[in-house]
Amino acid sequence: MDIYVLILPLLIGWILDKLLGDPVGLPHPVVGFGKLISFCEERWNCGAHRMLKGGGAAIMLILLVYVGSALALHYLFLLNRWLGIALSAVLVFYCLAGTTLIREVKQVFLAADRSLEEGRKQVSRIVGRDTSELTDQEVRIAALETLAENLSDGVIAPLFWYLLLGVPGMLAYKMVNTLDSMVGYKNERYLQFGCAAAHIDDMANYIPARLTALLMVLSVGRPGLLRFVGKYGNRHASPNSGYPESALAGILNCRFGGPHVYFGEIVYKPFIGDKDRLIHTQDMHKAVDINRRAEILMIIVNIVCLYLVS
């Protein structure tokens, strides 16, 4: 395959994300994914065999996105190569969330610098836990945990699946991620129906989460921190989230984790790291810089690998 067909959409889409962030006010594929998931959940998350129906729905939706996008792009490239590249670039742009993630985390720290209540309100936009009783430090830690975790989910994982399966793989990953964020909860409503979606998400993020931690450590030139990641990465309730979080905790020499409230229930997360120190705004700036460096490293990895296989 022509190297430009592989690399141009990647670079254009990535640059668009750097310049624009999430396209507010424009149609977004993930919104459509959410509507499809809600349609299936409302009709099938009832009665008997909920786990089977939930698994069937998840697989069907993932395949629908992958096959549908692959066919659409195939015929568009046959019609006009440049139209195919343009649409691919736009879809790459839609699948990356690095710039918006950084903006949101910065806003949390700016709000927290003004008042605790503003910090709580701002961080509620990017975390799933109850933020009404968080302390100032818990607000800041929550933002940094989300920054690390979503570097994997929102940037490195989509780029990883682009490398393996192109734009259709990237879109299929976003469907996997959206399924998990909507129905992958261990509560009464979703425990059975969302079980398969949660496990598929765990599998889809297994390599990207560990790759994210590696890229973060390499971005600061401290390979010795991989021992820290190996020690704390598997202590998270999630089989994946602990790896990027432990990489950031090691780099910042701080501690993440502890008790959090989700949907009215207290969830005790093991501590990641052992340095219980105050988090300051300069820590956020350092974490943002790490995210950007790791993202650039992943783009370089993609370009080199795509060049070698083309």
Q: Within 13 Å of residue 232, how many CA atoms lie on the same side as its CB?
A: 27
Q: Is the pTM of this model over 0.75?
A: yes
pLDDT digits (tens, 9 = 90+) for 209-237: 999 999 999 999 999 999 999 999 998 88
Q: Which residues contact 131 (CB under 8 A, 6 or more apart)?
A: 120, 121, 123, 124, 139, 142
Enter the tokens of residue 89.
């670039």
Q: Indicate the domain borders of the chain.
A: 1-307
DSSP string across 203-235? HHHHHHHHHHHHHHHHHTT-GGGHHHHHHHGGG
What is the three-class DSSP state of 265? Answer: strand
Digit-coded pLDDT (tens) for 16-62: 999 999 877 777 899 999 999 999 999 999 999 999 999 999 999 99
* Residue 261 reports pLDDT greater than 70: no
